[in-house]
Amino acid sequence: MVSERKVKGDTATSKVIADLTEKGYIVFTPAVCEHAPFDMIAFKNNKMLRIQAKYSSSGKIQNKQTWNDKHGTHMRVYSLTDFDYYAVYLPNVKTVIYPNISFGGENIKTIKTNCNNEFYWYEDFLELTDIATKRSNKPQNIISTNFSGNIPTKEEVILLISQYNSISDCADSINVDRRTFKKYINFYNLKIKSDKKSYDVKNTLEVSIIQPKDPTMSKEELEECVNYGLCYKEVEDKYQISHTTIRNLLKQNNLKLNPKKYIKSSSRKIIWPTKEELKILLWLKPTSEIAKDYNVSDNAVGKWAKSYGLSKPPRGYWQKLLAKKS
pLDDT of residue 270: 67
pLDDT of residue 264: 46
pLDDT of residue 55: 92
Q: What is the tens place of the pLDDT at every residue in 159-213?
A: 888 787 778 888 888 878 888 888 888 877 776 655 433 323 234 444 444 444 4
- pLDDT top residue among 20 and 201: 20
pLDDT of residue 144: 43
* Res 8 pLDDT > 60: yes
Q: What is the mean pLDDT of the chain?
A: 78
pLDDT of residue 2: 65
The fold of 154-209 is Arc Repressor Mutant, subunit A (1.10.10)
pLDDT of residue 95: 92
Rounded-to-integer distance, Cα 62 and Cα 59, Å = 9
User: If you write DSSP's letter for every residue of 126-179 in order, what string do you get?
Assistant: SSEES--PPB--PPPPSS-S--TTPPPPHHHHHHHHHHSSSHHHHHHHTT--HH
What percentage of the chain carries pLDDT values higher than 90? Answer: 14
Q: What is the DSSP letter of 231?
A: -
Q: Where are the domains of the chain?
A: 4-129, 154-209, 219-261, 275-325
pLDDT of residue 84: 92
Q: What is the tens place of the pLDDT at every residue in 86-116?
A: 999 999 899 999 999 989 888 898 887 766 6
pLDDT of residue 195: 45
CA dihedral defined by 156, 157, 163, 164, rounded to 10 degrees?
Answer: 140
pLDDT of residue 227: 76
Q: What is the tens place of the pLDDT at every residue in 215-268?
A: 557 778 888 777 777 777 777 777 777 777 887 888 888 887 655 544 444 444
Q: What is the tens place of the pLDDT at every residue in 138-165?
A: 654 444 444 445 678 888 888 888 787 7
pLDDT of residue 87: 92
pLDDT of residue 100: 92
Contact status, residue 235 vs residue 215, Cβ threshold 8 Å: no
- Which is nearest to 232 in space by CA: 264, 270, 200? 264
Residues 6+ apart with CB under 8 A from 301: 287, 290, 291, 294
Rounded-to-integer distance, Cα 129 and Cα 101, Å = 10
pLDDT of residue 265: 43
CATH class as words, domain 4-129:
alpha beta
Report CA-CA distances (Å) from 157 to 20, 148, 168. Answer: 52, 16, 13
Q: How confident is the model at residue 296 (pLDDT cuts 50, 70, 90)?
A: confident
pLDDT of residue 30: 80
